[in-house]
Amino acid sequence: MNRTSVRVSAHLRRESGWPVGAIAGLAGGAIEVGWIVLYQNMTGHQAAAVARSVTQSVIPQLAMAPAAVSLGVAIHMALAVGLGILIAILVRNLLPHVIGTPMEPVAVVAMLAGVWAMNFFVILPAINPAFVTLLPYGVSLTSKVFFGFAAAVVFWCAGRLHAAGQQGA
């Protein structure tokens, strides 16, 4: 990406970070769901147990409800959108010099690895210790790394689309 594209990408994120962040969160959340479904199916486990456990972590009284699995996926995706927006804002405000550079995906993945560590070593053990044991650490960390790469691709594409629009104007 040339210097002009980096400036345009940075401008895009300064001006409209939350919509791009929301899309990044949707992409990241979806790739996490796909990865967990694939892993659980390959190992003979039910992915529904993970979704139900998400519900149990947030709304324990609904963990056994008929809609607990769907609710767990919805909660996961809502949290993913929020996380995507947060990552976009953090990168934009704390690391504007990496926007549009090869370091941007590294920074985004590192942030997501930090989120994973906080979730699996602090938050989840306190609110739902059983959740931590549903998947091996490597599988759940891989999920967050996939989220980070998906978010980074969305950020990159948004920057390229905005740059193309600026060149055509």
What is the model's pLDDT at position 161?
79
Q: What is the pLDDT of residue 12?
A: 46
Residue 71 lies in a domain: yes
Residues of the chain with pLDDT under 70: 1-16, 162-169
Helix (H, G, I), strand (E, B) or coil at 98: helix
pLDDT at 167: 65
In a domain, 169, yes or no: no
State the pLDDT at residue 8: 45
Judge residue 15's burial from the number of C-beta atoms within 10 Å of its C-beta, 0-12 exposed, 13-18 middle, 19 or more buried: exposed
- Cβ atoms of 111 and 148 closer than 8 Å: yes
85, 117 contact by CB (below 8 A): no
Q: Which domain holds residue 113?
A: 3-164
Q: What is the pLDDT of residue 13?
A: 47
Q: What is the pLDDT of residue 3?
A: 52
Structure tokens at 71: 């609710």
Place of tokens 């929301």: 22
So what's the pLDDT on residue 113? Answer: 97
> What one-character DSSP code corresponds to residue 135?
S
Q: How many domains does the chain have?
A: 1
Condensed to tens digits (0 to 9), the pLDDT of residues 146-168 reads 999 999 999 989 878 766 666 66
